[in-house]
Amino acid sequence: MEWKRWQIMGSDHDRTRDPEHWQLEGSAPQLYQRYLVPAVTHQWATDLVERVALQPGERVLDVACGTGVVARLAAARVGAGGRVAALDLNPGMLAVARALPAGPDEGAVAVIEWFEGSALALPFPEAAFEVTCCQLGLQFFPDRPQALQEMRRVLVPGGRLALTVYGPIEHNPATCALTASLDRHLGAEAARVKRSEHALADAEHLRGLVVRAGLGDVLIETITKRMHFPSPTEYVRIQLAATPLARFVDRYDAAAREHLVNALVVEVGAALRPYVGQEGLTFPQEVHRVLATR
């Protein structure tokens, strides 16, 4: 799926107090790293890396690595004696990942190798890693059984798989509100893109996929964390600029685009009013975390 650039023109001097006039500058992968990694994916990456209990010297593969938040955390855990490989299909995300520092003390962390490629045909030999991670990516793969079989193939016997996927959309109020508004204003295709994040919300279906891929000791835990954005306005605009939804907004001229975004902001803001307080927008987000072994 192509990530495109989209700018909201206006003043950037105070996004929170002047929510209708601010600008997001940069490519979608840059915006993803700047806004969505600290607000959302860093929390889940920290949880996943802690739960899989990485050990010094281990070899780790991060599948669908995006801008590399899991890979960098893993590199710090396995240390300079370990190895971290990170793979993504999107060259824009990898360009951002490569430009970021590995950590505060680069001499104490594993060197991260970045690979452009598909999860359906991992470019690694069998039994190359002790741990394979995939954060919030499996639901997007066109052939999930094949991807899981590939993740199993590259694990050593006894190696560990750790992955997360989103739970039911009804348990994720921000996504639920945005998707309903997308249906009304951008159409079913755009709404399907957002709903696809929750394609593996059925935990038992997810378990079956993992077991049929030949993995054992499958543990699925459903966990909830609270996400924070300065306001519903910022949440909506970041979603439309830093995710694949940008390609739907790009179809409009500047005036129509701003009218559309404002309509979405008003509707989603109303739906999320119960989650707004003095600190801004705070809402629960649910994922299924899977741990398994080869």
Q: What pLDDT is stored for residue 106 in this prediction?
A: 61
Residues of the chain with pLDDT under 70: 1-26, 103-107
| pLDDT for the residue 108 | 85
| Superfamily, domain 28-169+196-229+284-293 | Vaccinia Virus protein VP39 (3.40.50.150)
- Measured between alpha carbons, how far is residue 196 from residues 138, 155, 176, 227 in Å? 11, 28, 12, 20
Q: What does the pLDDT read at residue 21?
A: 32
Residue 2's pLDDT is: 30
Which 8-state DSSP code applies to residue 34? Answer: I
Its pTM stands at: 0.88
Rounded Cα distance, 233 and 131, in Å: 39
pLDDT of residue 101: 85
List pLDDT tens digits, range 123-178.
999 999 999 999 999 999 999 999 999 999 999 999 999 999 999 999 999 999 99
Mean pLDDT score of the chain: 90
